[in-house]
Amino acid sequence: MDADLIIKNIGTLATLKGPQRARGGSAQGEIGVIKDAIVAVKGDRIIYVGTGSLPEEVTANDKTLIIDANGKLVTPGLVDSHTHLVHGGSRENELSMKLKGAKYMEILSAGGGIHSTMRATRSMSADELYLQARKSLDRMLSFGVTTVEGKSGYVIEDIETELKQLEVAKRLNSEHPVDVVSTFMGAHAIPLIFKDDPEGFVHKIIKEMIPTVAKEKLAKFCDVFCEHGVFTIDQSRRILLEGRQWGLEPKIHADEIESIGGAELAAELGCVSADHLVGASDEGILRMAESGVVANLLPGTSFNLQTGKHARARFMIERGLPVAISTDYNPGSCPTENIQLVMSFASLILRMTPEEVLTAVTINGAAALGLEEEIGSIEVGKKADLVIFDSTNLEYVIYHFGINHTDIVIKDGQIAFCKKDC
């Protein structure tokens, strides 16, 4: 079989070969390293992974693109499995408020935070939102991200603007090299017009918004911000169960600020992932591990909010709970598209090993999106999403933080990003 693409002279190939599922415990640190490796691709699929040279049955012709990795590190394409990609405006004006001691929920209650972004998002056209989000996707791709999740939830009282965000994400998925997986998050905050009637807004989500999103096939998941002052455990349960009835699999923003039982609810419902989890209880973590939920941690958000509190990644991993890591890119609590920086935070702040971090942003990130059988590892038959880093080893990528280590990004068997002329 003639290959369309061959990557040779790979110094270190982190395959993440193994079970096609999220990995916790000791398995989270096993990344399937091959030295002096070679990878062959046909179309958008991997057809060979091994050492040295290609076997006789895999050949090259005059059209085959051959990339010499020159001893560098190659990994699966990175998965950013929690972002708020499509939004309007920015919130740098809140920085001074934070520096003066204002808390996240205080800014939200004063009409800032999510409410500020709602106003900006409503005022922008679909084309304007598209251009802003595309710029962010370009940045994510440059850092090695080949698949990203994007949530709605920025004009939640207005179904038309919610749909506009999801339609922009759908357009980006079809036109940009990075795959965009959409999540409906109408339950992101209680709109000011429903401040005195939160149940009225829950009713609107269940009876109007979820059916519309599902019928128009604009999202894969349904998410809820389960937290004091936002949505209660009971409200979150009803919203997520209704979403499931309409084919939207459940995700949950759980116990970001304090423990109110969000992790336990994630386990009860069998959510695909529970995200944030800074305040998650021991019991909630253990139940999630038993129920197959992926813990999606967002250390960049904790860093930016400067609360001094962080998710207990070590406790989770050691109890068998698979951990994913994401940027949480959004205009307020984590305004960065740099997943490599967040990977360094995961190691330096959450005390995860480089191997655990890589698992978190590859196969575990894929599992947090229900895509573990397609992406997240370098194995025959899987999609040819790969990153060549300008480094000979994984540790250096984590250790030398704050810069972009990406050399080349392969998406669906094609060069999607190249730091230099390719």
Domain stops at, among 351, 367, 383:
367
pLDDT digits (tens, 9 = 90+) for 50-85: 999 999 999 999 999 999 999 999 999 999 999 999
CATH number for the domain that contains residue 414: 2.30.40.10
The answer to whether residues 97 and 244 belong to one domain is yes
The answer to whether residues 126 and 109 belong to one domain is yes
The answer to whether residues 395 and 272 belong to one domain is no
pLDDT digits (tens, 9 = 90+) for 9-45: 999 999 999 999 999 999 999 999 999 999 999 999 9
pLDDT at 109: 67
Q: Whose structure tokens read 């600020």?
A: 257
Exposure class string for 355-376: b at 16+ Cβ within 10 A, else e: bbbbbbbbbbbbbbbebbebbb
Q: Is 28 exposed, middle or buried (0-12, 13-18, 19+ CB in 10 A)?
A: buried
CATH number for the domain that contains residue 345: 3.20.20.140
The answer to whether residues 59 and 91 belong to one domain is no
The answer to whether residues 362 and 388 belong to one domain is no
The answer to whether residues 45 and 90 belong to one domain is no
- Which structural domain range is residue 147 located in? 79-367
The total domain count for the chain is: 2
The answer to whether residues 302 and 353 belong to one domain is yes
Phi, psi of 167 (to 5 degrees): -65, -35
The answer to whether residues 403 and 362 belong to one domain is no
pLDDT at 361: 99
Is the pLDDT reported for residue 389 higher than 80? yes
Is the pLDDT reported for residue 108 higher than 70? no
pLDDT digits (tens, 9 = 90+) for 210-259: 999 999 999 999 999 999 989 999 999 999 999 999 999 999 999 999 89
Average pLDDT value over all residues in the chain: 95
The answer to whether residues 363 and 380 belong to one domain is no
CA-to-CA distance for 16 and 373, rounded, in angstroms? 12
